Structure 1
Amino acid sequence: MSCILCCVDGKSYSQSACDYAVMISNNMKLPLKILNVIEHSSKSNLLDLSGNIKLGEKDDILEKMTNEEATRSKNIIKEGKDLLLSLKEKALITCEQEIILMQAHGEILDNILELQDEITVLVIGIKSQDNHKIGENVKDIIRELKKPTLLVNNEFKIPKKILIAYNGSEESKKVLISRSINPIFKNVLRDIVNINDDKILSEKLLKEAKDIYAKQNIDVTTSVLSGDAKTEILTYMDEKDCDILAMGAFGHSRIKEFIFGSFTSEIIAQSKKPVLFYR
């Protein structure tokens, strides 16, 4: 069964992510699943195991570690369940679709990929501003999950304008066609930009994008940008007061990313507005 999946941890804008997920669930008329993943750690906070362990102490130490881990796990599980119930209680106020709560154990990426056949849109909260290092799990999720992923990095705000970065690739055309037929966001203004020093080519690509939306009677505004792509996009976002950026993600291999850096990672780290990534 197709659904909107919202991953929450109680720390990274979980309430805001849930609010966006509710809105998307209503827009696309799909059930909302709220997932909390328990990632277990074997690190002990109580014991100092440096130095030698005396004869007869081993069993006591193992018992203490086992009890500590059991207590920690029980607390984490309870906190996760309380979070899910709290988010559902608020979501029920505005959500028009079924709400399903899920708690799972293990790695967050593995749990998301297990649900990938059901996911239409993934919503996840992150903290990414002020040179905050983006966790590899977030980048891996975007790389591995071939579904639209909304990264929420701010308080919830009903979007009024979306900026779409369009490069004219076959993949991006398919994205525009599918999203114009079944929009993730409704009742919004759409600005489409192409960053290209070749103005004639850029205008051709933007006309192509505009025609795709015109078939669904959706008006868009188009603009040609030139220069550093990251700077131009983020500046446009600020100057035109766009609420969400929509763009493709990770167009290069990991080796190229290591050598030249990742445009996607830089956008995630520096954008002050939510970013919707397509793969």
Structure 2
Amino acid sequence: MTEQVLAAIDGSHYAEGVCDYAAWASLALKAPLSFVHVVDNHSQVPDEQNLSGNLRFGARERLMKELSELDEQRAKVNREQGKLMLEAAKARALEDGIADPIIRQLNGTLVETLVELEKDVRLLVLGKRGESAHSASGHLGSNLERVVREMHRPILMVPKTFKQPEKVLIAFDGSKTARKGVEMLARSPLFDGTECHVLIVGADTAEHRSELEWALSTLRDAGHQAEGAIRSGEVDDTLQAYEKEHAIDLLVMGAYGHSRIRHLLVGSTTTAMLRGSRIPVLILR
């Protein structure tokens, strides 16, 4: 099967952004676009132990039967809502210029379902927050963190509103795997015509200057306009300051190796970094 752009949609406010960024990526990569909605029926099942209490057997049996019937009704509603969301996503993708978007509804848990599908995925597109995450809390929810940890495909985490990326920033630490990220960025049709920025967070040393020059040369040799900088400070704060200063549209980071960037992504500050970004974040694997 041809590797595809896979967009996971739900009922959150990020669904339209997911649709539009996925369509943009599909067109740029010349890859099929597939939308998936995962129905997790188990998320609605109550904890039986919490219901046992001091209920007599007959009352408890009736209560469990009623709750089971209620769960079935909820599952049916979830499936119907999901079908409507998929049809809406397909219609929006058609408007965005996708010739034949695919829609699929699957049962299971989100993370396990995406991991099962990843062999056919070129790029996974997700909303910054899922349907179950409270928009005011700033919490991304455990799903996104688990997807970042367990998937081995590039992941594009997007905001609510689409903006055509014109300026792209890659967080670079000079490691062997980070160099692969720069090379991937340089040759990817996803970034044709974009202005590329490279930022090394650390001391202004001869080694860092050499690494930065290599990254900029690699991007320029591929036809990109490229500029970069070396700045000291905390990784997440420094990246966000640079984003604002240069009006960056998309941030590229690598969840690989044993670099500071990797520890930022798969360590305890994952949620803080992704939550703090107001622009799409492409996480390379």
Instruction: Verify: 1:209 aligned to 2:211, yes or no.
Output: no
Contact 2:193-2:224 within 8 A present in 1 as well:
no
CA offsets per residue over residues 158-178 of structure 1, 9 Å max, x none? 122111111111112122222
Q: Distance in 1 between matches of 2:204 and 2:178?
A: 19
Q: How many residues align?
A: 274
Instruction: Verify: 1:64 aligned to 2:31, yes or no.
Output: no
Deviation at 1:185, TM superposition (A): 3.1
CA offsets per residue over residues 226-274 of structure 1, 9 Å max, x none? 2222211100101111111111137669xx979x963443311211222
Instruction: Verify: 1:18 aligned to 2:24, yes or no.
Output: no
Contact 1:250-1:262 within 8 A present in 2 as well:
no
5+ residue gaps, structure 2, are none
- Structure 1 residues 62 and 205: alpha-carbon distance in aligned structure 2, compared to 1, 3 A threshold: same
Q: Which amino acid aligns with 2:238?
A: E
Which residue among 74, 85, 94 is the counterpart of 2:87?
85
Deviation at 1:212, TM superposition (A): 1.6
Deviation at 1:55, TM superposition (A): 5.2
1:184-195 to 2 correspondences below 5 Å: 184-195=190-201
Instruction: Verify: 1:121 aligned to 2:127, yes or no.
Output: no
- Structure 1 residues 179 and 97: alpha-carbon distance in aligned structure 2, compared to 1, 3 A threshold: farther
Aligned twin of 2:170: 164
Q: Which amino acid aligns with 1:236?
A: Y
- Structure 1 residues 97 and 194: alpha-carbon distance in aligned structure 2, compared to 1, 3 A threshold: farther
1:240-251 to 2 correspondences below 5 Å: 240-249=246-255
Task: Give the 3-state SS of the residue equivalent to 1:197 in structure 2.
Answer: coil
Q: Which moved more, 1:83-92 or 1:209-218?
A: 209-218
Q: Which amino acid aligns with 1:105?
A: N
Higher helix share: 2
Instruction: Verify: 1:103 aligned to 2:91, yes or no.
Output: no
Aligned twin of 1:222: 228
Task: Give the 3-state SS of the residue equivalent to 2:191 in structure 1.
Answer: coil
Q: Which amino acid aligns with 2:243?
A: M
The percent identity for this pair of structures is 28
Deviation at 1:19, TM superposition (A): 0.5
Aligned twin of 1:2: 3
Q: Which moved more, 1:137-146 or 1:211-220?
A: 211-220
Contact 2:16-2:160 within 8 A present in 1 as well:
no
Task: Give the 3-state SS of the residue equivalent to 2:125 in structure 1.
Answer: strand
Contact 2:169-2:199 within 8 A present in 1 as well:
yes
The TM-score normalised by the length of structure 1 is 0.88
Deviation at 1:42, TM superposition (A): 4.2
Contact 2:115-2:151 within 8 A present in 1 as well:
yes
Instruction: Verify: 1:136 aligned to 2:142, yes or no.
Output: yes
Aligned twin of 2:33: 32
Q: Which amino acid aligns with 2:139?
A: K
Contact 1:2-1:120 within 8 A present in 2 as well:
yes
Deviation at 1:130, TM superposition (A): 6.9
The TM-score normalised by the length of structure 2 is 0.87
CA offsets per residue over residues 102-148 of structure 1, 9 Å max, x none? 11111111111111111111110023987622322211111111211
5+ residue gaps, structure 1, are none
Q: Which amino acid aligns with 1:38?
A: V
Contact 1:17-1:125 within 8 A present in 2 as well:
yes
- Structure 1 residues 115 and 49: alpha-carbon distance in aligned structure 2, compared to 1, 3 A threshold: closer
Q: Distance in 1 between matches of 2:62 and 2:233?
A: 65
Which residue among 181, 196, 205 is the counterpart of 2:202?
196
